[in-house]
Amino acid sequence: MKKNTLALLRMLAVVLGGFSIAGLSNADSSIARQSIADPSNAVARPTIEELKARRFLDDYESNVVFGYNIVMETERYAGRYTGNRLRCTSCHLKGGTQPDGFPLNVAGIYPKWRSKNSVRNGIGLRIRDCFLYSLNGVMPPEEAPEVVAVAAYIHYLSEGEVIGRPPSNWGVPTLPDTFVDPNPVRGGIVYKKSCAVCHGADGEGIDPIPPLWGADSYSAGAGLNKIEKAAGFIWANMPLGQERSLSHQQAKDVAAFLHLQVRPFNPREGRLKKLAERIYHWLTRSSDEDKQ
Amino acid sequence: MSARAAAASLLREALPDISWRRGVNVRRETFAGSIGAVLAIPQAIIFAYLVGLPPEYGLYCAAFVAFIASLFGSAAMVSGPNTAVSILLGLTVVQFAGRGSPLYTDCVLILSLMVGLIQLGIWLVRGAELFRYFSPAAITGIKAGVGILLITSALEGSLGLSPLTSTFFYEKFYVVIWGWNELVNPYAATISAITIVGGLAMRKRWPRTYIINALLLGSVTGALIVGYWGPVDSQVELLGRVSLQAFPLMWPRVSPEYWVIIEGMFPNAVAIAVLGLTQSLVIARDLKTHAVNTVDLHKETFAQGLANVLSPFFSTFAGSGSFNRTNVAMEMGAKTPLAGMVGAVAVLLIAYVLGPLLTYLPMPALAGILALVGIGMIRWKEARPFLQHRMEGAVYSITIFAVTFLGLDVGIFLAALVSIIFFIAGASKVAFDIERKDGLEHIAVKGNLFYASLDRLSQHLHANPANDTVLDLRRVSYCDSSAYSLFDTIMRERLQHGGKLDVIAA
C-alpha cells in the first residue's frame, strides 16, 4: 500500500510541475528547480529503452514499461480485454508520441467532462472506453493492472505538460469547412488509389498495418467512426510517409467511405433489448392492423 | 541409520514412485480426474483473482503444480491452487507493489519459489512429523475463518463495487449498508444473488457438482442481462479472454535488488509454507486412514515442495493440496496419483476448448461462486464436536477470531501455538490410582511422566517417606530422565526412613 501511494504521489508530481522522476529519486533538487523555472526545458527523463535495460524497476517504472508494452503490442500484453487486431499504437501513432496523431501526453486534461457519456471521465475510464469501443473488447475493471499500467505510461508521457490546458498538437487537427459534403463514392476511389496498397482492397490490413473495417477493426461506437475525426487523422497522418498530401476534401471523402463499411456493432446498444423492441413493435403494429 | 542409508531413503522419497501402476483401473482414474478438472477451472480462476493475477496463472497452477505434486507424490491427493494459500500470497505481496503490476507479478513468483524452498527444507529436517500435532480443531477453525474472509472478499465483485480496503472485515458491510443506493450495481447484484441462492438450493441435491451448476446459472443470467441492457448501461464486469499456452515456460526475475523485498516477505513465506503443508498433510493423513494405498507423509512433503519450487518456472504461483477437489476425486473412485495427473492435463484442455465462452463469464457470477466456496468452508457440523469439548472449543474459537480479526498469517501461527499449548497441557495430565492393602501402597500411574507432569507425584511420594510403595508404570507411555532421577531420590529417601519403593516398569 505504501508503495502504491508513493507511486501515485510521483504521478501527481510529474503532472504538477514537470518534476523529473530522476530528480525526485536522486534527490537532485537543482534539476527539479530548473524545470519549474522553465517547463519547456525538457528534463532528461529515462527513455523506455533505458528503463528496460535496468535490472530493477520500482512499482511506477515497471508500470510505465508495462504500459508501453501494452500500447505497442496490445494483443500480447493486454489480450484479455481486446477483441480485434488493432493496437493502441494503430491510432495513437508511434506509441502515442506523434503530434496530431492522437498523442497520449494528455494526463493534464483529465478528469474532464465528456459529452459522449455525460459523466466526469477520469483517465482510467477513458482507457477502459478505448478497450470497449476502439479495441472492440471487454471493458476492463477500474483496478485492472492493464488500465493502471497504461495510465502510468500516459503520465510518463505527460511530463512537463500543464494541468487543465490541452497539450499542443493534441488529438487530430479539425479540418476547415470545404462547403462540399463528404462523398463516399469519391472517397472509395481515393481509397483504392492511396490507401489500398497497405490496408488492402477490403480494408483487411496486414500486420502491423491495421485493418480498417470488418470484424477485426474498431466498432461503430469508436471515436474514429466519426467522419470529422477520421478525416483529421487521415489528412494529418496518412498515407504513411506522404502525410498531408491529400486535400482536405479527399480526406473527408475517405472518412465518409470508411464510415459506410461494415464493422462490429456499437456496444452501447443492448442487442437483446433492440431485438425485443423490434418484436414488440412488430406485434403491436400487426395487432393495430387487425383492428382496422 | 548410517548417513548412506539416510541419503538413500531421501533419494527414494525424491524420485517418482510409480509402483501404483500395477493393477490400476485407468478408466476409472481418468474419469475421476476429468470430473475434478471441470470443478477445478472456476476455482482456479477465482484463486488467481485472490492472488491478484490474471486467470491464466490460476489455470497453470491447477495444471502444472497439480501434475508435479501428483507425479512425485504417493496418494490420490489433488493439489493445485488453494484458498488460504492464495489469499496469503496476495496479502503478502500487496505490501510491496501495486496489485497486479509487473513488480507484483515478479514478487508473487519469487514468493512461490521461497515457499517451495522452505517446504523442501522442512522435508530435509523431517518436519512432516511436526504436523501431527496440529490439532483438527485448529484446522477446522482456519477453514472457517478463511470461509468468512472469502465471503467478505466476494462482496465487492458481487455488488459491482470498486475494491474497498478496510481494517476489519465487518467494516465493508457498514459501507455497503449505508451507501447501497449509490454504490451497488443492481445488475451485478442480481447476477450474484441468483448464483448464490441457486447454489445453496442445489447444494443438497448435487453436493459434488452444485458449484458448476451455480456457475452455469449465473453465467446464463449474466448473458441475458448483458445482452439486454448492453455492457455499457449494465456495467457488468466480464472475465475477458483467457489465452493459454501448453508450456508457459519462463525464468522468474530475481536480482540482488529484490533482496529487501525477499527479506520482508520471509515471515509470510514461512507461514504460507507451513499452511500449505499442513493442508496437504492433513489430506494425506486422512487418505491414510481411509484409502487402501500407502501414503508417505515425507514423500508428499517433498512432492508439494518441489511443485512449488517449480511453479514460477511454469508462470504460476504456489499451491497446496485441495480438500474439496480431493474429495470429489475420491468419490469418483480415484485411488492413485494417476487421477491427479489426468486432471491436470484435462484442466488445460477443457479451459482451452472453453476459451471463447470464458471471455464472457460475468465476474459477479464468479464472485457468487467465491461466496459459495466460503459458505461451504464454514461447516457447523464439523465444528460441533469441538465446541462440546472445552479445550478444543477454545482452540477453535481462538483460531477463528485470530484469522478474521488479526489476519490469516497471525491466525495460523496462533493456531499452531495454541494447539501445541493445549496439547502439552493435555499431555502433562497424569492420573493416579492409589490402593492400600495391608500397609502396602499401590499406585497405578496413567499418562506421561516428564519434567512438567511430575509435581503431584513427587509431592505425594515425598509426603510419606516411611511407606512401602509399589509404583505401577505399566500404563505410562513416556518417561523422561527427570522422572528416573525422581525415583532415584525417592528410593534413597525411603532407605533412610525405613520405607521402600518398588517400580514396575512397562
Tens-digit pLDDT profile for residues A215-252: 899 999 898 999 999 999 999 998 888 888 999 999 99
Contact B363, B153 (CB under 8 A): no
pLDDT at B220: 94
What is the Cα–Cα distance from B43 to B323, expressed in whole angstroms?
12
The pLDDT tens digits of the residues spanning A78-118 come to 989 998 989 999 999 999 999 999 999 999 998 888 776 67
Q: Which residues contact B151 (CB under 8 A, 6 or more apart)?
A: B370, B371, B374, B375
B162-170 — which CB contacts under 8 Å span 24+ positions?
Answer: B162/A142, B162/A143, B163/A143, B165/A1, B168/B405, B169/B404, B169/B405
pLDDT at A287: 61
pLDDT at A55: 81
The whole-chain average pLDDT of chain A stands at 82
B257 with A56: Cβ contact below 8 A: yes
Cα of B75 to nearest chain A Cα, Å: 36
Q: CB pairs below 8 Å between A and B: how many?
A: 107
Whether residue B453 is predicted with pLDDT greater than 90 in this model: the reply is: no
What is the Cα–Cα distance from A73 to A86, expressed in whole angstroms?
9
Using a CB–CB cutoff of 8 Å, tell me whether B415 touches chain A.
Answer: no
pLDDT at A27: 42
Assign B426 a pLDDT band (cuts: 50, 70, 90).
Answer: confident
What is the Cα–Cα distance from B324 to B318, expressed in whole angstroms?
18
Contact A34, A41 (CB under 8 A): yes
% of residues, chain A, pLDDT over 90: 40
pLDDT at B212: 86
Using a CB–CB cutoff of 8 Å, tell me whether B264 touches chain A.
Answer: no
Interface test with A, best of B232, B245, B357 (most A CBs within 10 A): B232
For strands B440-449 and B431-437, give the pairing: antiparallel
Nearest chain B residue to A131 by CA: give it: B240
Between helix B102-124 and helix B83-93 the angle, nearest 10°, is 120
Average pLDDT estimate for B29-41: 87
Average pLDDT estimate for B112-129: 91
Q: How far apart are the first and last CA of chain A?
A: 70
pLDDT at B15: 82
Whether residue B458 is predicted with pLDDT greater than 60 in this model: the reply is: yes
Whether residue A289 is predicted with pLDDT greater than 90 in this model: the reply is: no
Whether residue B112 is predicted with pLDDT greater than 90 in this model: the reply is: yes
Using a CB–CB cutoff of 8 Å, tell me whether B258 touches chain A.
Answer: yes
Nearest chain B residue to A144 by CA: give it: B100
What is the Cα–Cα distance from B170 to B417, expressed in whole angstroms?
26
pLDDT at B308: 95
Sign of CA pseudo-dihedral A116, A122, A123, A125: negative
Contacts of A4 in chain B (CB under 8 A): 97-98
Average pLDDT estimate for B187-209: 91
Assign B440 a pLDDT band (cuts: 50, 70, 90).
Answer: confident
Nearest chain A residue to B360 by CA: give it: A138
pLDDT at A187: 93
Whether residue B17 is predicted with pLDDT greater than 60 in this model: the reply is: yes
Identify the weakest region by mean pLDDT among A43-47, A106-110, A253-257, B342-346: A43-47
Nearest in space to B101 (alpha carbons), one of A30, A60, A126: A60
The whole-chain average pLDDT of chain B stands at 86
Contacts of A141 in chain B (CB under 8 A): 237, 363
pLDDT at A7: 58
The pLDDT tens digits of the residues spanning A55-85 come to 888 888 999 999 999 999 998 899 899 989 8
Using a CB–CB cutoff of 8 Å, tell me whether A59 touches chain B.
Answer: yes
Using a CB–CB cutoff of 8 Å, tell me whether A65 touches chain B.
Answer: yes
pLDDT at A19: 39
pLDDT at A286: 67
Using a CB–CB cutoff of 8 Å, tell me whether A62 touches chain B.
Answer: yes
Sign of CA pseudo-dihedral B265, B378, B186, B230: positive
* From B99, B243, B258, residue closest to A56, measured CB to CB: B258
Query: What is the SS3 assignment for B379?
Result: coil
State the virtual CA torsion across A83, A84, A87, A88 in degrees, nearest 10: -50
Cα of B358 to nearest chain A Cα, Å: 11
Contact A87, B249 (CB under 8 A): no
Average pLDDT estimate for B382-410: 85
Please give, one letter per residue, the 3-state secondary structure of chain A. Answer: CHHHHHHHHHHHHHHHHCCCHHHHHCCCHHHHHHHHHCCCCCCCCCCHHHHHHCCCCCHHHHHHHHHHHHHHCHHHHCCCCCCCCCCHHHHCHHHHCCCCCCCCCCHHHCCEEECCCCEEECHHHHHHHHHHCCCCCCCCCCCCHHHHHHHHHHHHHCCCCCCCCCCCCCCCCCCCCCCCCCCHHHHHHHHHHHHHHHHCCCCCCCCCCCCCCCCCCCCCCCHHHCHHHHHHHHHHHCCCCCCCCCCHHHHHHHHHHHHCCCCCCCCCCCHHHHHHHHHHHHHHHHHHHHHC
What is the Cα–Cα distance from B55 to A185, expressed in whole angstroms?
47
DSSP B100: T
Task: Report the 10 Å Cβ neighbour count for A15.
Answer: 19
User: B110: exposed, middle or buried (C-beta count within 10 Å: 0-12, 13-18, 19+)?
Assistant: buried
Scanning B288-307 for CB atoms below 8 A from A yields none
Identify the weakest region by mean pLDDT among B198-202, B227-231, B346-350, B452-456: B452-456
User: B431: exposed, middle or buried (C-beta count within 10 Å: 0-12, 13-18, 19+)?
Assistant: exposed
* From B100, B234, B240, residue closest to A138, measured CB to CB: B240
Contacts of A81 in chain B (CB under 8 A): 240-241
Cα of A172 to nearest chain B Cα, Å: 26
What is the Cα–Cα distance from B76 to B342, expressed in whole angstroms?
11
Assign A10 a pLDDT band (cuts: 50, 70, 90).
Answer: low
State the virtual CA torsion across B472, B475, B478, B480 in degrees, nearest 10: -10
For strands B440-449 and B468-479, give the pairing: parallel
Whether residue B344 is predicted with pLDDT greater than 90 in this model: the reply is: yes
* From B98, B102, B229, residue closest to A3, measured CB to CB: B98
Contact B216, B192 (CB under 8 A): no
pLDDT at A6: 57
A59 with B54: Cβ contact below 8 A: no
Q: Which residue has the higher pLDDT, A231 or B477?
A: A231
Scanning B68-127 for CB atoms below 8 A from A yields 94-104, 106
What global pTM score does this model have?
Answer: 0.81
What is the Cα–Cα distance from B84 to B67, expressed in whole angstroms?
20
Whether residue B222 is predicted with pLDDT greater than 90 in this model: the reply is: yes
Scanning A142-171 for CB atoms below 8 A from B yields 142-145, 148-149
Contacts of B163 in chain A (CB under 8 A): 143
pLDDT at B466: 78
Contacts of B265 in chain A (CB under 8 A): none
Backbone Cα Rg of chain B: 27
What is the Cα–Cα distance from B69 to B340, expressed in whole angstroms?
8
Whether residue A119 is predicted with pLDDT greater than 50 in this model: the reply is: yes
Identify the weakest region by mean pLDDT among A13-22, A39-48, A119-128, B350-359: A13-22
Whether residue B370 is predicted with pLDDT greater than 90 in this model: the reply is: no
The number of residues in chain A equals 292
pLDDT at B67: 94
Identify the weakest region by mean pLDDT among A33-42, B203-212, B296-305: A33-42
Assign A43 a pLDDT band (cuts: 50, 70, 90).
Answer: low
Q: Which residue has the higher pLDDT, B38 or A118?
A: B38
For strands A119-121 and A112-114, give the pairing: antiparallel
Contacts of A155 in chain B (CB under 8 A): none
Nearest in space to B216 (alpha carbons), one of B339, B372, B81, B345: B372
Contact B126, B146 (CB under 8 A): no
% of residues, chain B, pLDDT over 90: 25
pLDDT at A212: 93
pLDDT at A67: 94
Using a CB–CB cutoff of 8 Å, tell me whether B498 touches chain A.
Answer: no
Assign B190 a pLDDT band (cuts: 50, 70, 90).
Answer: very high
Q: How far is CA B92 from CA A7, A144, B85, B248, in A?
A: 19, 19, 10, 24
* From B94, B228, B243, residue closest to A1, measured CB to CB: B94
User: B491: exposed, middle or buried (C-beta count within 10 Å: 0-12, 13-18, 19+)?
Assistant: middle
B257 with A55: Cβ contact below 8 A: yes
Contacts of B363 in chain A (CB under 8 A): 141
Using a CB–CB cutoff of 8 Å, tell me whether B420 touches chain A.
Answer: no
**For residue B92, is it left (φ>0), alpha (ψ between -120 and 50) or beta?**
alpha
